[in-house]
């Protein structure tokens, strides 16, 4: 019997290579697990009965376009939309024999921090189904945590891979902006969106990143990235680790989270790293408001295409063309996309562009420079990934500002286009705590090395206690 709760992607590959299990048998084992546990967790919006290929199964966040498989971005406005081509990352996965298990739940258009904004209902955290799995990629993170996929792809705009990985006890990578193609991805904020892997351990995360990374002629923002090195060392000798004071001592960080992260920082020293403090004051003070001007502005532009004319939902309740546009968008979009479209359109409007969007872009440059100065002294930075562990379903839905603050610690490095890796570093009140490792551009191999060494030293059991 295949134990999907503990099976890693690397372990699955070894089983396949040794012919101890066939591709269809492995795929069937995950389908069985999905049938058993997903009715409670609601990780998937669509499950594939047979997607071809004979390799390792993979789950895909439902903002990633898949030929012949529904892609809704968690929105009513795309209900029933079936792409006629694969996103580049999907094509690359298929080239390596990976089999698509299904499409995972997401906050609508990847806008949210809890997956509660999905038009198809929230996902639940495998560690405690009364709590959120994070967002926007909560479905992918919960699926990996619950053994419903050995690994998954998500997308990260301001923390949508790192934060749910933290809340579900996974490893998740937001790569350097431009190292992974966005072709075929439903766009939210084009200068921020980035696809990345979610996995049970760092080696799996690095392996999946090696499959999807690289220049793509269909996406002119992509660049060549350094070859991926699968991590194997268990020491941190020669590594300089920076601890940003403002991101580690912020008042929003729960005591249990703070203690687990402090233990992980102490482990860095024990493993031979040089650890010192640094400061990112502007990133903390202005990161969140800067993000919530730039991201909604770009969203208002990207979401203008959903007008009922070409694809997706079209309102039948309209007497003329203008009414059709208005009713289609009113019926198709949920509250959060509407909120961000309104904010973004205002920020881009005549007379306000320079004061809001233009000013935010200048602040973004300041945030990038502040990080660059820190990397003159350090190889990477460490912070908590999320200020809290998983919070209760419905606990923040009535307060959008409280929900936005969930990404307080992940947003600054995203604004700077930097890679970030979440690894689980302990428990607080029986729930996973995430450690965020931030590197300079193209430093994914350094993040993998440090993450792997800490992972081995911490010995975190990634299987939720209630499922063991």
For the chain, the first-to-last Cα distance in angstroms comes to: 15
> Are the CB atoms for 57 and 149 separated by under 8 Å?
yes
Catalytic residue annotation: 61, 136, 160
Q: How far apart are CA 300 and CA 287, in angstroms?
A: 20
User: For residue 46, what is the DSSP state?
Assistant: E
Strand order in the sheet with 431-438: 44-47, 99-104, 57-61, 151-156, 194-199, 171-174, 420-428, 431-438, 380-384, 240-244, 274-278
**Structure tokens given for 297:** 């502005």
SS3 string, 121-134, reads: CCCCECCECCECCC
Instruction: Tell me 333's DSSP state.
Output: S
Are the beta carbons of 223 and 439 closer than 8 angstroms? no
Identify the residue whose tokens are 């030293």: 457
Three-class secondary structure of residue 231 per DSSP: coil
> How many H-runs (helices) and E-runs (strands) does the chain carry?
15, 11
Four-point Cα dihedral 10, 182, 91, 117, nearest 10: 70
- Full DSSP string of 165-219: HHHHT-EEEEPPTTSB--TTBPPS-TTT-EEEEEESSHHHHHHHHHHHBS-BTTB
Longest CA pairwise span in the chain (Å): 71
- Which two structure tokens, joined as six digits, stand for 432? 């996973």
Tokens at residue 426, please? 């302990």
Q: What's the burial of 219, exposed, middle or buried (CB within 10 Å: 0-12/13-18/19+)?
A: middle
Instruction: Kindly provide the residue ranges of all beta strands, DSSP E only, lying in 200-260, ordered along the sequence.
Output: 240-244
């Amino acid at each position: 019997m295949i134990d999907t709760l503990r099976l890693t992607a690397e372990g699955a590959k070894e089983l396949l290579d040794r012919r101890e299990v066939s591709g269809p048998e492995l795929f069937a084992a995950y389908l069985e697990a999905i049938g058993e546990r997903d009715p409670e967790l609601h990780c998937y919006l669509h499950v594939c009965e047979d997607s071809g290929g004979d390799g390792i199964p993979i789950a895909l966040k439902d903002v990633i376009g898949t030929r012949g498989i529904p892609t809704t971005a968690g929105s009513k406005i795309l209900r029933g939309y079936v792409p006629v081509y694969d996103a580049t990352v999907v094509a690359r996965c298929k080239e390596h024999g990976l089999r698509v298990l299904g499409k995972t739940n997401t906050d609508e258009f990847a806008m949210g921090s809890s997956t509660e904004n999905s038009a198809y209902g929230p996902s639940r955290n495998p560690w405690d189904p009364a709590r959120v799995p994070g967002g926007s990629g909560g479905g992918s993170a919960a699926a990996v945590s619950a053994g419903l996929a050995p690994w998954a792809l998500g997308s990260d705009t301001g923390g949508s891979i790192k934060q749910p990985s933290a809340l579900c006890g996974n490893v998740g990578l937001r790569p350097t902006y431009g190292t992974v193609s966005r072709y075929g991805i439903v766009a939210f904020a084009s200068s921020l969106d980035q696809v990345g892997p979610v996995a049970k351990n760092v080696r799996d995360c690095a392996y999946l990143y090696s499959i999807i990374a690289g220049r793509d002629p269909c996406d002119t923002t992509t660049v060549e990235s350094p070859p991926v090195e699968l991590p194997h060392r268990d020491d941190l000798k020669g590594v300089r680790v920076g601890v940003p004071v403002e991101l580690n001592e912020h008042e929003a960080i729960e005591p249990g989270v703070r203690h687990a992260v402090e233990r992980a920082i102490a482990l860095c020293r024990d493993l031979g790293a040089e650890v010192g403090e640094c400061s990112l004051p502007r990133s903390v003070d202005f990161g969140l408001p800067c993000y919530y001007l730039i991201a909604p502005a770009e969203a208002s532009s990207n979401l203008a295409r959903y007008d009922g004319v070409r694809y997706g939902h079209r309102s039948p309740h309209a007497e003329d063309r203008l009414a059709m546009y208005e009713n289609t968008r009113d019926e198709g979009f949920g509250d959060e996309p509407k909120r961000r479209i309104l904010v973004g359109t205002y920020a881009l409007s005549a007379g306000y562009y320079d004061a809001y969007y233009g000013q935010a872009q200048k602040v973004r440059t300041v945030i990038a420079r502040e990080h660059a100065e820190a990397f003159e002294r350090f190889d990477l930075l460490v912070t908590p990934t999320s200020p809290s562990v998983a919070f209760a379903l419905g606990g923040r839905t009535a307060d959008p500002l409280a929900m936005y603050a969930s990404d307080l610690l992940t947003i600054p490095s995203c604004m700077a286009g930097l890679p970030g890796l979440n690894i689980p570093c302990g428990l607080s009140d029986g729930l996973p705590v995430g450690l965020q490792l931030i590197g300079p551009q193209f430093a994914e191999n350094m993040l993998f090395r440090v993450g792997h060494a800490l992972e081995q030293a911490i010995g975190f059991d990634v299987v939720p206690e209630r499922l063991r």
